[in-house]
Amino acid sequence: MVKTPVVTDFAITRPLRTLEAALRRKIDTKTKPLGSLGRLEALALQIGLIQQTESPKLERPQILLFAADHGAVAEGISAYPQDVTWQMVQNFLGGGAAINVFSRQASIAVQVIDAGVNHDFPEQSELRNFKIAHGTANYVHEPAMSTAQCARAVETGAQLVRECIAQGTNVIGCGEMGIGNTSSAALLLHRVGGLPLADCIGRGAGVDDAGLARKCAILERAVARRPGALAPLEALAEYGGFEIAMMVGAFLAAAQARMVILVDGFIASSALLVASRLHPAVLEYCVFAHVSAEAGHRRMLELLGGEPLLALGMRLGEGTGAAACYPLVQLAANFLNEMTSFDSAGVSDKLNS
């Protein structure tokens, strides 16, 4: 059993609404019928309120890609061996993974962070080494991490966001890599979100029917090990991963700095679930990229009150959903800034009046 980790408090407040009327007026007087840009109009309003300006700018977007291993993989919860985690880290560093392709197209910088991979990488400048341990412990038998490890991981994620802020970044997304981490996300959805465990568990990286049944049985054992109510950070320490804990800190620090936060899929959303139970105002800064094909993600989004921009059947992780949605975020900011109004274009707005 672990005590609640001690995490540095974050001062997160909701965006002021004083500019809302002016932003709505600016959106409504563009040369278009009222509401005709649909979700992009709500997104433009959100970005303007986050940045507290009628002329928002998106600067130096970055994705922090956290990688870590999970001790519970030894129980057979994944269709892939644990070595895939470190091999994919090398793929990220080589620029050949999906997130590399997506982020290059969207002009998003990607930082790859070793949060706790069960592998010793050679020293290389492209990899940020913040390894907490060589993977978490096996949560079927004991807490995944200690109180100190959990707190350190959360603070590390926050510090990495603060570095991005110092570089001029005001748009941030989080990606992850860790064989077995959909199981951690499912457990967090169950223990923090209160949903029935069966509604939280999916096929992850692609287990078959027998593998899914085995995964369900293993996670039921993990839940039975620690009965009773858990505070959000307790649940994180009991069942989370170092990459998930770092994303919790990253989301909190980004909201404190009033950044636009691009929320990826199921695992990233499980980190946001924990963060939002600590500071509900973090959700005001979040753009929900997509709804994953992973079972449980739609239920997770319902808990978070998130309306995803995309529904492409994706379930890869890595931050790919965040990168895929970013051009839509750019469109929202750009039409607000660059599209002419009826008055400036000399176009009649009779239909809008």
Residue 314: its pLDDT value, please? 95
The answer to whether residue 37 is domain-embedded is yes
**Domain co-membership, 33 together with 111:** no
**Domain co-membership, 175 together with 32:** no
d(CA 131, CA 114): 5
- Least Cα distance to 198 among 125, 286, 325, 296 occurs for 296
**Domain co-membership, 167 together with 269:** yes
pTM: 0.95
**205 has pLDDT over 90:** no
Q: Which domain holds residue 38?
A: 20-55+337-352
The answer to whether residue 276 is domain-embedded is yes
- Name the burial class of residue 159, with classes exposed (0-12), middle (13-18) and buried (19+) by CB atoms within 10 angstroms of its CB: middle
Residue 47: its pLDDT value, please? 98
The answer to whether residue 113 is domain-embedded is yes
Arithmetic mean of pLDDT, 213-241: 95
118: domain CATH number is 3.40.50.10210
Contacts of 28-32 with CB under 8 Å at 24 or more apart are 28/352, 29/341, 29/342, 29/343, 29/349, 29/352, 30/335, 30/339, 30/340, 30/341, 30/342, 31/339, 31/340, 31/341, 31/342, 31/345, 31/347, 32/339
**Domain co-membership, 45 together with 83:** no
**Domain co-membership, 34 together with 175:** no
Tokens of 133: 């341990």
Residue 2: its pLDDT value, please? 66
**Domain co-membership, 142 together with 32:** no
Residue 1: its pLDDT value, please? 60
318 is a catalytic site residue: yes
**Domain co-membership, 126 together with 255:** yes
Residue 346: its pLDDT value, please? 77
Q: Taking all residues of the chain, what is their mean pLDDT, rounded to a whole number?
A: 95
Specify the residue for token string 């593998």: 211
- Least Cα distance to 272 among 282, 259, 284 occurs for 282
Question: pLDDT tens, 135-180?
Answer: 999 999 999 999 999 999 999 999 999 999 999 999 999 999 999 9
**Domain co-membership, 32 together with 70:** no
**8 has pLDDT over 80:** no
Residue 64: its pLDDT value, please? 98
Question: pLDDT tens, 74-128?
Answer: 998 888 899 999 999 999 999 999 999 999 999 999 999 999 999 999 998 899 9
Q: How many domains does the chain have?
A: 2
Question: pLDDT tens, 333-353?
Answer: 999 999 999 888 778 776 565
**Domain co-membership, 292 together with 208:** yes
**Domain co-membership, 29 together with 172:** no
Residues facing 65 on adjacent strands: 112, 175
Question: pLDDT tens, 299-344?
Answer: 999 999 999 999 999 999 999 999 999 999 999 999 999 999 988 8
The answer to whether residue 14 is domain-embedded is no
27: domain CATH number is 1.10.1610.10
The answer to whether residue 1 is domain-embedded is no
The answer to whether residue 168 is domain-embedded is yes
The answer to whether residue 15 is domain-embedded is no
**Domain co-membership, 260 together with 246:** yes
The answer to whether residue 152 is domain-embedded is yes
**Domain co-membership, 250 together with 173:** yes
Q: Which of 75, 142, 318, 338 is an active site residue?
A: 318
